[in-house]
Amino acid sequence: MSAKPSARALGPLASVALAYVTTTVIVTVVSYRAPEAYAATAVGLVFLGATWLLVLRRDSAQIRHHGLSLGGLLEPEPLEPTRLARSAAVALAWALGCFAVVAPPFWLGFRMWAGARGGFSLSAALPSLDQAMGQLVVIALPEEAFFRGYVQTRLDEVFPKTVRVFGFPVGASIVVTSALFAIGHVLTIPSPERLAVFFPSLLFGSLRSRTKGIGASVVLHALFNLLSGALGRGYGVHP
């Protein structure tokens, strides 16, 4: 899928390594030191702060190059409602389409992994508006902005080659980003099961590459987190 990085590519690779290690160390410390009720928010702010320092404080061309425009929402220029609505519709369509395909086997896999044998409580499963917005804005957006926006884009410069799997691009940059994403999850909560986020991360990365932005991956990331939580509450088990 990729050739050995050239000497010219070592610059982006070194910058990504430095940014990832620095951000991950800060995120890990914050996740343990912050009060539990505010830990997720604090971690999200660290990811957003890192992304701002690395990309968002720069011009619109760089923001778009890193897939961070969100229909112009994060660009310094005046917002164009038509462009924003079109971008949101495209991102939502991609996310919902992928969710419709992946959610049923995810549900079955969850039942097997959690050993859920009893009935399912829909009233307990339904998330509140606060939970939905928290997953979208506090967790999915910051993580996707840093990993799919910054890290994957920079790694694309080192490992540009991809192959198509069912029409979705997959390359070394997506695989490496997903591995880094999984490692970060284990560092904040030391459980081997957390490494499983590597697999949905591949889809998030492929969506970012396919759509040229992080909007679809942000929505799908939030939907998967909400589904996992809903299944845990519905079956009365911890996800």
Q: What is the pLDDT along the chain (239 residues), one digit of tens a residue?
A: 445 555 555 677 899 999 999 999 999 999 999 999 999 999 999 999 999 999 999 999 999 999 999 999 999 999 999 999 999 999 999 999 999 999 999 999 988 887 777 788 998 999 999 999 999 999 999 999 999 999 999 999 999 888 988 888 899 999 999 999 999 999 998 989 899 999 999 999 999 999 999 999 999 999 999 999 999 999 988 65
What is the model's pTM?
A: 0.92
Q: Is residue 149 part of a domain?
A: yes
Q: Chain centroid to CA 149: how far?
A: 9
Reduced to 3 states (helix: H, G, I; strand: E, B; else coil), residue 136 is: helix
Reduced to 3 states (helix: H, G, I; strand: E, B; else coil), residue 67 is: coil
Q: Which domain holds residue 100?
A: 7-235
Q: Is residue 74 part of a domain?
A: yes
Q: Is residue 1 part of a domain?
A: no
Overall number of domains in the chain: 1
Structure token digits, residue 143:
């993580």
Q: Is residue 2 part of a domain?
A: no
